[in-house]
A and B are shown apart, each in its own frame.
Chain A
Amino acid sequence: MNLNTITDIKRPASCDDIGSWGDGYSWLAGGTWLFSEPQVAVDTLIDLDALGWTPLTATEAGLDIAATCRVVQLHDFAGPPGWRAVPLFRQTIDAFLMSFKIWNAATIGGNVCMSLPAGAMISLTAALEGVCTLWPREGEPREVSVVDFVTGNHRNVLQRGELLRKIHLPAAALSKRAAMRQVSLTKFGRSAALIIATVGEGGADFLLTVSAATPRPVQLRFATCPSADELRQTLEARLPPDAYFDDVHGSAPYKRHVTHYLAEQIRTELA
């Protein structure tokens, strides 16, 4: 929709060109959320596309995903054979409520910065132990894990004017086996629960990431693949009934119920 309060678009070639951060400033990545609701507090958009970041950079250390990387670019990414978790990219992208057409515009960084419980790129990058590089307006870049980046429903650690530059997925995480389960109230609808686990060689380092069911991603790490009881008890301990996110895409009791069910399915699959 038209954002009628916008009076200026800045298209800087470098972040240094922006000058001091105004109250009504907002970064513009894909624009797919920004243009989906009135943004009456915003008067200036700063177009990140003009910065020309390389969308995806794969090295031996892992995969760097620029914040402006389009969803479709990640969808089409084929990693080296040893990165066994890459199929998760498509699986989590398919878990989006959004159409494939939106993938052409929406960005990975935008989805993470929206910090919605059902942000599938949060689920993906959290599960693959992603680390965000943030560019504050003043001072040196800082790093924070995706799990810690999102602090609640539509809340994150970004300071005023701070920019998510990229997300690094370490090769070690990309090399693990992975499994995912998702449910929603309608067919291919917004996730009520999106659960991912990864496991290393010989069942070591079992990492369960609960998302959508909770306001922010929650990770449970086990040295080895847990038993059903151990998994259930750990889930109960970490996520009491009031830790679940109640919204129109699923009641909290339902999300708790299916989280346990799906987590156990994943455990069985990866065991």
Chain B
Amino acid sequence: MTHYHVNGRHYAAEPAAGQCLRTFLRDLDVFGVKKGCDAGDCGACTVHIDGKPFHSCLVPAFRGEGREITTIEGLATNGEPHPMQKAFHNAQAFQCGYCTAGMIMTAVTLTDAQKSDLPHALKGNLCRCTGYRSINDALHGTCNIEADVAGKALGASLPNPFTDAIVTGKARYTMDLAVEGLLHLKVRRSPHAHARIVSIDRRAAMAVPGVLAVYTWEDVPKRLFSSALHEDHLVDPDDILLLDNVARFAGQRIAAVVAETEAAAEAGCRALQIDYEILPAVFDPVLAVQPGAPLLHDKDQVTASDNIFCTLQGEIGDVAKGFEQADVVHEETYSTTRVQHVHLETHGSIAWKGEDDRWHVRTSSQAPFAARQKLAYIMGIPPRDLHVFTERVGGGFGGKQEMVSEDLVLFATMKLGRPVKWEWSREDEFIGATTRHQMTTRVKIGARRDGTLTALDVEVFSNTGAYGGHGGETLGAAMASPIAAYRCANKKGIGHAVYTNMTPGGGFRGYGASQTTFAVECAIDELARILEIDPFEMRRKNVVQPGDNVESIWKEPSDASFGSYGIEECLGIVERELKKGNGVAKPDGADWAEGQGIAMAMLECGPPTEHRSGAEMRLLPDGTYHLACGSTEMGNGITTAHTQIAASMLGTRADDIDIINADTDRTPYDTGTFASTGVVVGGKAVHLAAEAMAVDILDFASRHAGVPIDQCRLDNDGVICGNQRISLRDLHAEGAKVDHRFSVTRKAYLSPRTIAFNVQGVRLAVHRVTGEIRVLHSVHAADIGRPINPMQCRGQLDGAVAMGYGWALVENMVHDANGHMVNPQLRNCRIPTFADTPHTDVFFADTTDLIGPLGAKSQGECGINPVAPAVSNALADATGVRFARLPFTPDRLFAKLSSAT
């Protein structure tokens, strides 16, 4: 045995020969050491060795021998948190919290010189949630939180209830669990974009010591499903099998190997002999609809004649006539890229059979209830025999609105009777998960000389990849709000979601609307430029207004309506701020061109399809409350918002509300946390449940005290009945005597849907020779109704805007001519670092919504949408060149820049 010192404790243990320190520490149950990439790129696994910071995934475990190893768990002294832990607490410098341990372990080692140059110092620490603003705050000692005062929870910037666990490394994410007798599952992925499996010889794999089972298409239930998660499973095509005998993209899982160790499972995967018949492949949706293109799906419920999964079209008014009335017409084809969510916690699930004889799946999901239904269907078991739950989820962004890891572990555990885990690698995410749908969007738009729009015609080709999950819904979103955002009598659109042999498209923050917003907002800008109308005026003149029909290309009535209307205020804020400036000057030199651009986005708060949520509340014997809501917390801050909603209804402190969420056994049903529903559906359920809880307490207190209910009111941890005050603790005891349980449950449904807006302003400089872009001023105004927690809302917008900049300027998944991703590592497929992320001044319109709970609207999603077009518009302003295709990396700009005047 070798001796290791970790956090002051002594361990005698022997790492495997090629084991890295990260997994070795986790084998010692030191779970604060996280895996974001396992390749040295993200910094989530940062630990100290003899006081110096290392990425523990790159350190051979044997080199830790006899040295002092410190992880986040060992940072406190005598139970007193490190000042940096307090700083992260006070600044709330996290959202999902998955990067926090590594961020803090890095931050505590920084010298003053490094602290004054955070873009450099933090280039080895990735955060996908915050846009780094709150992390910057923590490193500057900024306190962003307010006191938790009874009765004042609504609108207060309260800390996340799990803060202490997150900053100390105690928060348990999906994989942070030691399970006795655990087996490991790994998959062999297809190297071919399109191939039929002729044979799989599993003998060599089964001969690997430790391998217990190999599963292929021959072993699994022949039930087609979609990995996309929605309330109504029929909105997605059932086109996936657990394991298939046709590979439709390079990276599709072909076989699963289950073994005693990950090493054996991997060796088993490598040992499989698979004989493929390679089929012709198609990657471009426009080519995929041509006659003779290779056909992706020949299943009976999917059209067998072509690769079009879904076409949506419509027209209001008469577009041809509208163009005749136009004084100017702009037409351009815009295109947007697929990008990966890169939630720092990869997908992964652990499944086992419980002592209750039921199956339990611990997972990283945005929709455990919808996943349970699908799993029950695929395995042919009743949903009541299945428990699907999350503990803490390390980011989602739509990527976990997808059932991609739960199914195989459940299948394997049902076959083998032992617990099974499948933890994805970062490469798995890039090649085997989903991405934003790549869309190519032709926009033709006409206006009169005064700027009034006369016609808008939009054609979309969406590349849904090998499977159609989310293909129809994202296309629906692409054909909806970005077009409905403008009043124009004549609008027409046609969109196709097309199967190709690419990685499947999936749900991604902005969900189809981002792509059309990019095209339409650039087009509006072009019209304004031609007409020499100020871009703010152009939008004010044409934006949809209360009283208008909120319609894109269909006349059918919609349940979207204005519970509040803040776009004019948002435009005013961004205009004012850009005019005022922030004092950041263009870099010196004639090669730098400066420009300014804006864009707006409209969001219907919630999906047009069904969405529902339930909440349950109980008064506890100690006078505090228990709240259960099915929504998932994945860094969206929904548990904070829900406790604040409940606390405000009950006149208590948020800290007196104990919350659990996203657990099919312990919380009421919830469709899932996606499509901007956390506040407007889950929050509505919490609002109703808390209201009912208050009535229940007052009703009992009134009867108990013999005081009319209208003279009873809640008072923090007590009830005032006339002139007496009864503590909730005593009241609960009185209730217990007569079997009054103080428990309530309520359900919420989404309709009508209110409407939110976002406006982004960008002033930037672009270097005409190198193509480098520097964002000089970034302003965002959001019409999100009443912020339940302003700090959190600002954080969501910081993160959404940062992701928008990533899409516009940084992220680039590159595939070769055979459909293989060339750069499935974070060091080659970059996401924004601290240095890449401009500071954004975030403002809220002063609106209080009449539809959303307590005046609130959706806020986490839509902030991303106006960013990329605002950047394109600013580039056009600076250079006179319209860059219509994302991303705007210097090597894609420079040729046009040097020829521009």
Contacts from A to B (Cβ < 8 Å)? 1-9, 28, 30-32, 35-38, 40, 45, 47, 49, 94, 97-102, 104-105, 183, 185-190, 192, 248-251, 253-255, 257-258, 261
Contact = CB atoms under 8 A, between A and B. Distances in A.
Given A9-B62, A188-B119, A40 B17 contact: no
B890 A99 contact: no
Interface string B814-853: 1000000011010111101101100000000000000000
B827 A185 contact: no
A32 B58 CA distance: 5
Contact of B17 (A9, A36, A102, A255): A9
Contacts of B123: 97, 99, 188
Interface string B29-55: 000000000111101001000001111
Contact of B43 (A30, A40, A101): A101
Contacts of B19: 2-3
A97 B827 contact: yes
Nearest to A265: B769
B891 A98 contact: no
A99 B38 CA distance: 15
8 contacts: A4-B266, A9-B17, A9-B18, A28-B60, A47-B60, A101-B46, A104-B52, A186-B835
B694 interface: no
Contacts of A28: 60
Contacts of B106: 99, 101
Given A4-B18, A6-B17, A101-B53, A258 B121 contact: no
Given A31-B59, A186-B830, A248-B822, A1 B894 contact: no
Interface of B: 16-20, 22-23, 38-41, 43, 46, 52-55, 57-60, 62-63, 106, 109, 114, 119-121, 123-125, 262-263, 266-267, 270, 425, 769-772, 809-810, 812, 814, 822-823, 825, 827-830, 832-833, 835-836, 889-892, 894-895, 898
Contact of A100 (B38, B114, B262): B114
Contact of B771 (A1, A47, A49, A254): A254
A100 B266 contact: no
Given A105-B55, A248-B812, A248-B829, 20 more contacts: A3-B20, A4-B16, A4-B262, A5-B267, A9-B60, A28-B60, A32-B55, A32-B58, A38-B266, A40-B270, A45-B60, A47-B60, A99-B55, A101-B43, A101-B106, A104-B53, A186-B836, A190-B827, A254-B890, A255-B891
Given A36-B58, A104-B53, A188-B120, A183 B772 contact: yes
Nearest to A98: B124
Among A104, A185, A257: residue with most chain B CB under 10 A:
A185
A7 to B, nearest CB: 6
In the A-B complex, list the 9 residue pairs whose CB atoms are closest, starting with the nearest. A99-B124, A6-B18, A3-B18, A254-B891, A4-B263, A187-B835, A1-B38, A36-B39, A251-B891
Given A9-B17, A45-B17, A248-B812, A185 B891 contact: yes
Contacts of A8: 17
A9 B60 CA distance: 10
A183 B770 contact: yes
A186 B833 contact: yes
Contacts of B812: 248
B781 to A, nearest CB: 26
B833 A100 contact: no
Contact of B895 (A1, A192, A253): A253
B55 A1 contact: no
Nearest to B261: A4
Nearest to A31: B60
Nearest to A5: B18
Contacts of A36: 39-41, 57-58, 825, 827
A188 B833 contact: yes
B749 to A, nearest CB: 44
A248 B830 CA distance: 10
A121 B892 CA distance: 28
Contacts of A105: 54-55, 58-59
A258 B769 contact: yes
Contacts of B40: 32, 35-36, 98, 102
Among B40, B62, B769, B895: residue with most chain A CB under 10 A:
B40
A2 B24 CA distance: 9
A2 B823 contact: no
A185 B888 CA distance: 10
A192 B891 contact: yes
B894 A248 contact: no
A102 B18 contact: no
A5 B812 CA distance: 32
Given A32-B40, A188-B835, A192-B891, A101 B54 contact: yes
A2 B890 contact: no
Nearest to A252: B891
Contacts of B825: 36-37
Nearest to A257: B894
A1 B39 contact: yes
Contacts of A258: 769-770, 894
A257 to B, nearest CB: 6
A52 to B, nearest CB: 14
A248 B18 contact: no
B92 to A, nearest CB: 24
Nearest to B814: A248
A35 B827 contact: no
A65 B822 CA distance: 34
A77 to B, nearest CB: 17
Nearest to A1: B38
A191 B855 CA distance: 49
A106 B894 CA distance: 34
Given A2-B23, A101-B106, A261-B770, A250 B18 contact: no
A2 B124 contact: no
Given A105-B58, A187-B119, A248 B267 contact: no
A202 to B, nearest CB: 30
A1 B19 CA distance: 7
Contacts of B771: 254
A267 to B, nearest CB: 15
A7 B829 contact: no
Contacts of B23: 2
Contacts of B125: 99
Contacts of A254: 771, 890-891, 894
Contacts of B830: 185-186, 189
A189 B20 CA distance: 26
A1 B20 CA distance: 6
Contact of A183 (B20, B120, B809, B890): B890
Among A8, A28, A105, A251: residue with most chain B CB under 10 A:
A105
Nearest to B57: A1
A192 B770 CA distance: 11
Among B18, B58, B114, B262: residue with most chain A CB under 10 A:
B18
B124 A185 contact: no
B735 to A, nearest CB: 55
Nearest to B895: A253
A189 to B, nearest CB: 6
A185 B895 contact: no
A250 B893 CA distance: 11
B120 A94 contact: yes
B16 A2 contact: yes
Given A9-B62, A99-B43, A2 B120 contact: no
A5 B268 CA distance: 12
A47 B46 CA distance: 22
B826 to A, nearest CB: 10
A262 to B, nearest CB: 8
B894 A35 contact: no
Contact of B889 (A99, A185, A190, A255): A185
B60 A35 contact: yes
B308 to A, nearest CB: 31
B56 to A, nearest CB: 10
A19 B581 CA distance: 69
B833 A187 contact: yes
